[in-house]
Amino acid sequence: MEFQLTQAMEVLERTPAALRALLHGLSAEWTTPNEGPDTFSAYDNVGHLVHGERADWIPRARLILAQGPDRRFAPFDRLAHRRESAGRSLEQLLDDFAQLRTENLAILRGWELDERALALEGEHPVFGRVTLRELLSTWVAHDLGHLAQIARVMAKQYREAVGPWRAYLPVLTRPARVEETKAAAERLPVEFFSRVWAPPHDLDAIDELMTEDYVITSGGTAIRGRSAFKEWVRDFQTKLRDATNETLEVIVDADGERVVSRWVCRGRNNGIFGLPADGRAVSFTGIAIWRVRDGRLAECWVERAAWEAHRELVG
């Protein structure tokens, strides 16, 4: 299904009413339980949606439409609702969300976006270049995802009460963190490339994103240990000046334990591939297969189109 603004508005307009119809007047036994540590209750979901209306969709869309010199989004704090919702009832949060959504949709309509505007780009702090079309599509999917999450956490309150019918109700047995785990695994290589392989080339991010015993096999040679890998990256970037890396595609397995990323690396020759430094532009594609463990990248097998890039430089 291709994005169409009128169809997107159909969902965005209905979300406040859908939330109110499902949650208004419910007892705390329905709205406060979650699915375990670091998961959201129904109450948390609404607070999170309120924060998104204030800090995410319209502010980021404005930044894209302005097309100023700095189009980089501020990082989104997915747990900010815990602070902002303190002391507010669920009914108040539902009212806040409905009011903010009405105001934001009025702004969105007033922009009268055309295809040219939807193709404009901003810079996500992890994903890099993104279009306004992709941002607005994500707004819709985000609404639907949280409606599904609310329904799931509420349904699980009757996990035992349904007895043998649990076998026919996968919503009661689906692990709470499957989608979150897969999404986190997908973000890891994208964040690695955007933080380590793009200015200002934050090599300390390797300590955050990789396990201490991280192993990467590149060109048949294994580099073992996070510290050794950091030095390998430092040396590589010395030979590839102004290095950047654009993620083209990320594929995650069903369990979020294996990730494949397809990317293109660019920079200027400062002695790469053992060649004399001449400042010429260098570009090559690559594929990496990653193993994820305990929320970090633990192992990688990478293949680069190094021969093609070498031939272009010496040809």
The pLDDT tens digits of the residues spanning 9-58 come to 999 999 999 999 999 999 999 999 998 767 899 999 999 999 999 999 99
Are 206 and 186 contacting, i.e. CB atoms less than 8 angstroms apart? no
Q: Rounded distance, CA 102 to CA 131, Å?
A: 23
* Ramachandran class of 252: left when φ > 0, alpha when ψ lies in -120 to 50, beta otherwise: beta
Residue 95: CA atoms inside 13 Å, Cβ hemisphere, count? 6
Q: Rounded distance, CA 274 to CA 239, Å?
A: 9
Residue 216: CA atoms inside 13 Å, Cβ hemisphere, count? 20
Provide the 3-class DSSP secondary structure of residue 136: helix
Are 306 and 240 contacting, i.e. CB atoms less than 8 angstroms apart? no
CB neighbourhood size of 91 (10 A): 13
Residue (of 85, 106, 77) closest to 43 by Cα position = 85
Q: Rounded distance, CA 211 to CA 30, Å?
A: 39
Structure-block tokens of residue 161: 């009460």
Q: Is the pLDDT of residue 138 over 90?
A: yes
CA diameter of the chain:
73
pLDDT of 77 reads 87
Q: Are strands 210-218 and 128-131 parallel, antiparallel or unpaired?
A: unpaired
Q: What does pTM read for this prediction?
A: 0.65
The pLDDT tens digits of the residues spanning 219-244 come to 889 999 999 999 999 999 999 999 88
Domains of the chain: 5-176 (1.20.120.450), 180-314 (3.10.450.50)
Residue (of 144, 135, 142, 141) closest to 113 by Cα position = 135
Q: Rounded distance, CA 155 to CA 169, Å?
A: 9
Q: Is the pLDDT of residue 306 over 80?
A: no
Structure-block tokens of residue 134: 């992709």
Label residue 177 by pLDDT band (50, 70, 90): low
Provide the 3-class DSSP secondary structure of residue 112: coil
In 28-125, which residue ranges form alpha helices assigned H by DSSP? 28-31, 42-55, 57-66, 81-84, 90-111, 115-118
pLDDT of 134 reads 97
Give the angle subtended at the CA of 87 by the CAs of 83 and 88, to the nearest 5°: 95
Q: Is the pLDDT of residue 94 over 90?
A: yes
Average pLDDT, the chain: 91
Give the angle subtended at the CA of 209 by the CAs of 207 and 214, to the nearest 5°: 75
The pLDDT tens digits of the residues spanning 242-283 come to 988 888 899 998 778 899 999 999 999 998 888 888 888 888
Provide the 3-class DSSP secondary structure of residue 245: strand
